[in-house]
Chains A and B, each alone.
Chain A
Amino acid sequence: MRRTLSMVVNDQPGVLSRIAGLFTRRGYNIESLTVGTAEQPGLSRMTISTTGDEAELEQIIKQVEKLIDVISVVSIGEDALVARELMLIKVSASAPARSEINGIVEPFRASIVDVAHSSLIIQATGDTDKNDALVELLRPYGIIEIARTGVTALIRGQLVSA
């Protein structure tokens, strides 16, 4: 079962280390981790995408909550959240292939952000599955490099994540 943990943490040195260390020490899995400043100064929002069964996820949340620098943690199921990841893909693109690639990129609402002689950089935003699909469609053209940010997320509607 995949869950997204949205946490508000103190924006202080060592916080990332504490959280990552806890996951390592207790043998929990991290699929992706993003961190950036939150709405309040001095606080950061960290989003961790993890997998495990019900009991394991409950333990993860409780152990994370014990860290003094973690202000709040919520676990969000797939359906209740807006989850987005930014992806940059550098793909081989000879002149004839470009229009084809354009045709692939458009329905994904991705955009071409850099054009060189024989390559393009495409920027895509979406959930992980959508980005995965785009990668597969572009693979035949020759993927040179991929950089993905990992998922960041908020709960849908009025509820707040912290």
Chain B
Amino acid sequence: MSSLEKETTRAAQQAARGFIGGDLLVESLKTEGVDTIFGYPGGANLWIYDALYLSDINHILVRHEQGAIHGAQGYSRASGKVGVVLSTSGPGATNLVTGIADAYMDSTPLVVLTGQVAVAGIGKDTFQEADVMGITMPITKHSYQVRDPRDIPRVVREAFYIARTGRPGPVLIDLPKNVTGEVLPAGEDYFSNSTMKIHGYQPRFEPNALDVDRLREAIKQAKKPILYIGGGIISSGCSELITRFARETRIPVTSTLMGLGSFPPDDPLYLGMLGMHGTYTANKAVFESDLLIACGVRFDDRVCGKLERFAPNSLKAHLDIDPAEIGKNVAIQYPVVGDVGRSLALLLEDVPVPDCSEWLSKLQKLHAEVPLTYTKQPGILKPQEVLEMLQAATGGQAIVTTEVGQHQMWAAHYYKPVSPRKFITSGGAGTMGYGFPAAMGAAIAKPDQTVVCVAGDASFQMNIQELQTIFERNIPVKVFVINNRYLGMVRQWQELLHGERYAESRIGGPDFAKVAEAYGVLGLRAENAEEAQAAVAKALSHQGPVVVDFIVAEGENVFPMVLPGRGSDEMMLADRWSE
């Protein structure tokens, strides 16, 4: 059907059934610039689907609601736009809960639309009723239940505004069936009343100038400063500013998992990732620093380790848009609340240049002496090799998503994204099953870019049903399964911390190449370095989706590692302790 025919048919159908709440919703979404929705129909959202029928919004029909929400997250993380997901009531909505929690932890802007039973049935334990607002209150930035269709334009407008501004996050709109199905009198202007009423929400963009000046003075005094940067740099879109700031001040940089891609990986100032699996030099630098400048981060436990031993001798500055993050885990002497990009721009107006060249060269020397390392074994494919091949083949230009576990850390170590929004991973929540649907969402957002999902054999099985979605829509996601037949990170902890008692960490999987083929997706398998090299090349040059099953060494561990309860200066490097 041509788009004109579609529009005519749609208009005729709408005229026949009347203009309903669902139409108002779809119009409001279009006003917000929504072009893609990830969803799954059911009883309570039928009127919304009726309104979406033949509309020019691209609806991605998934095979499980969890696939829909992670798809929306991947779409959002790759594009910077608000991701939109639509489910029905009850189990449809509760299947979104993991994704909502994940988006809340990683500050991903989403608008989550859930169908709900009709208002008259709410509270009566009606078929497929669940108190989704109640269930999701602690994991949403805000939520609404719409009781009058006339509120839809205002609520949608507020939801998008809240989701994308300040510290971004998921906003839920619960839509009872009678509200989306209500026929509204024609000829009224339902949009004139969409003025936002959110007096309790005023995110602070502009930092306090005095706070910026205080920090500027502190930077001038510092001898061993370090920039600790994270996902906030990407949310704020200030990757260029942080790069300029680091280069003009000559302050070394370390990034969190969420911040990867926000600083050029080959810059001599860059020390790699910090934290539990951070580089030796990054963790050492933080430990020895006298001024830690934290930008768009949240002092997460996987970064800090034992708090008393986290940067124990440093003064700490924290630039963040969320005032509640300041001092939440670590005492801060130089708080700067506001958009981190704006704060950096103010600092750059009169750049403080510390005298820290000695410190920098010491760290650079250390970084060269203690690089990330692993041992190759003839005839056996090492997981790190696969990631190095991916890096070599893409030059860090591809969008890489990951699942959760060892492969995620190896991807963080060996894949070097050259720009923001090219490394998409579940950082805070650590959601297995995230990476594959997220890759699907990223590929829809960025059809001109190569998108690779680095998966574990266990994680991939958590949302493997989306193979059907990528097959049907020909979404060219490349899934690299790093298959070690184990829940590798669990196995690693059992080896190092539980006396090698490998309880339930050995986990079987199917022949992933054959599974892919069964779905109509190209499936490849590689058992050694030569096969892997060929498979990487073939997968990346293949036009459509592909799954590569890399059969890797079973017992490989991720190093360096800061064991739980240890300070960030106490690292295991391969099999020996650093100190």
Chain A residues engaging chain B, CB cutoff 8 angstroms: 9-10, 13-14, 17-18, 21-22, 25, 55, 58-59, 62-63, 65-72
Tell me, in angstroms, the Cα distance from A18 to B134 when the chains sit together. 9
Which residue from chain B places its CB closest to the CB of A22 in the assembled complex? B138
Instruction: Tell me, yes or no, whether B322 is within 8 Å of chain A by CB.
Output: yes
Tell me, in angstroms, the Cα distance from A69 to B143 when the chains sit together. 10
Instruction: Tell me, yes or no, whether B304 is within 8 Å of chain A by CB.
Output: no
- In the assembled complex, which residues on chain B have CB atoms less than 8 Å from the CB atom of A22? 138
Structural contact, A21 and B324, CB atoms closer than 8 A: no
- In the assembled complex, which residues on chain B have CB atoms less than 8 Å from the CB atom of A63? 324
Tell me, in angstroms, the Cα distance from A9 to B200 when the chains sit together. 8
Kindly provide the distance from the CB of A59 to the nearest chain B CB, expressed in whole angstroms: 6
Tell me, in angstroms, the Cα distance from A67 to B202 when the chains sit together. 11
Taking a contact as CB atoms closer than 8 A, the residue among B133, B143, B200, B326 that contacts A71 in the complex is B200
Tell me, in angstroms, the Cα distance from A162 to B137 when the chains sit together. 25
Which residue from chain B places its CB closest to the CB of A68 in the assembled complex? B142
Instruction: Tell me, yes or no, whether B214 is within 8 Å of chain A by CB.
Output: no
Structural contact, B324 and A67, CB atoms closer than 8 A: no
Which residue from chain A places its CB closest to the CB of B322 in the assembled complex? A66
Structural contact, B200 and A69, CB atoms closer than 8 A: yes
Which residue from chain B places its CB closest to the CB of A66 in the assembled complex? B324
| 12 A–B contacts from the bound complex (CB under 8 Å) | A9-B200, A14-B133, A14-B137, A14-B143, A14-B145, A55-B327, A59-B328, A65-B323, A68-B200, A69-B142, A71-B200, A72-B200
- In the assembled complex, which residues on chain B have CB atoms less than 8 Å from the CB atom of A67? 142, 200
B77-133, CB < 8 A from A: 133
Given the interface pairs A21-B138, A25-B138, A68-B141, the reply to whether A59 lies near B324 with Cβ below 8 Å is yes
Structural contact, B162 and A68, CB atoms closer than 8 A: yes
Which residue from chain B places its CB closest to the CB of A43 in the assembled complex? B199
- In the assembled complex, which residues on chain B have CB atoms less than 8 Å from the CB atom of A72? 200
In the complex, the 3 A-B pairs of residues with the closest C-beta atoms, listed nearest first:
A62-B324, A68-B142, A71-B200
Tell me, in angstroms, the Cα distance from A123 to B108 when the chains sit together. 52
Greatest chain A CB density within 10 A among B133, B137, B162 is at B137
Instruction: Tell me, yes or no, whether B198 is within 8 Å of chain A by CB.
Output: yes
Structural contact, A17 and B137, CB atoms closer than 8 A: yes
Structural contact, B323 and A21, CB atoms closer than 8 A: no
Structural contact, B323 and A62, CB atoms closer than 8 A: yes
Kindly provide the distance from the CB of B122 to the nearest chain A CB, expressed in whole angstroms: 11
B135-191, CB < 8 A from A: 137-138, 141-143, 145, 162
Structural contact, A21 and B137, CB atoms closer than 8 A: yes
Tell me, in angstroms, the Cα distance from A14 to B133 when the chains sit together. 9
Structural contact, B134 and A17, CB atoms closer than 8 A: yes
Tell me, in angstroms, the Cα distance from A72 to B133 when the chains sit together. 23
Interface of A: prevailing SS? helix
Kindly provide the distance from the CB of B157 to the nearest chain A CB, expressed in whole angstroms: 14
Tell me, in angstroms, the Cα distance from A59 to B138 when the chains sit together. 16
Tell me, in angstroms, the Cα distance from A25 to B143 when the chains sit together. 17
Structural contact, A18 and B200, CB atoms closer than 8 A: no
B310-328, CB < 8 A from A: 322-324, 326-328
- In the assembled complex, which residues on chain B have CB atoms less than 8 Å from the CB atom of A10? 200
Taking a contact as CB atoms closer than 8 A, the residue among B134, B201, B326 that contacts A68 in the complex is B201
Kindly provide the distance from the CB of A46 to the nearest chain B CB, expressed in whole angstroms: 13
- In the assembled complex, which residues on chain B have CB atoms less than 8 Å from the CB atom of A13? 145
Greatest chain A CB density within 10 A among B162, B322, B323 is at B323
Given the interface pairs A58-B327, A59-B324, A59-B328, the reply to whether A70 lies near B200 with Cβ below 8 Å is yes
Tell me, in angstroms, the Cα distance from A69 to B331 when the chains sit together. 28
- In the assembled complex, which residues on chain A have CB atoms less than 8 Å from the CB atom of B327? 55, 58-59
- In the assembled complex, which residues on chain B have CB atoms less than 8 Å from the CB atom of A18? 137
Structural contact, A71 and B199, CB atoms closer than 8 A: yes
Which residue from chain A places its CB closest to the CB of B147 in the assembled complex? A13
Known A21-B137, A62-B323, A71-B199; further 18 A-B contacts with Cβ < 8 A: A9-B200, A14-B145, A17-B134, A17-B137, A22-B138, A25-B138, A55-B331, A59-B324, A59-B327, A62-B326, A65-B323, A67-B200, A68-B142, A68-B198, A68-B201, A69-B200, A70-B200, A71-B200
Kindly provide the distance from the CB of A131 to the nearest chain B CB, expressed in whole angstroms: 32
Which residue from chain B places its CB closest to the CB of A59 in the assembled complex? B328
Tell me, in angstroms, the Cα distance from A96 to B179 when the chains sit together. 65
- In the assembled complex, which residues on chain B have CB atoms less than 8 Å from the CB atom of A70? 200
Tell me, in angstroms, the Cα distance from A25 to B200 when the chains sit together. 21
Kindly provide the distance from the CB of B175 to the nearest chain A CB, expressed in whole angstroms: 16
Greatest chain A CB density within 10 A among B134, B200, B323, B331 is at B200
Which residue from chain B places its CB closest to the CB of A10 in the assembled complex? B200
- In the assembled complex, which residues on chain B have CB atoms less than 8 Å from the CB atom of A55? 327, 331
Kindly provide the distance from the CB of B492 to the nearest chain A CB, expressed in whole angstroms: 31
- In the assembled complex, which residues on chain B have CB atoms less than 8 Å from the CB atom of A65? 323-324
Which residue from chain A places its CB closest to the CB of B143 in the assembled complex? A14
Kindly provide the distance from the CB of A130 to the nearest chain B CB, expressed in whole angstroms: 34
Tell me, in angstroms, the Cα distance from A22 to B162 when the chains sit together. 19
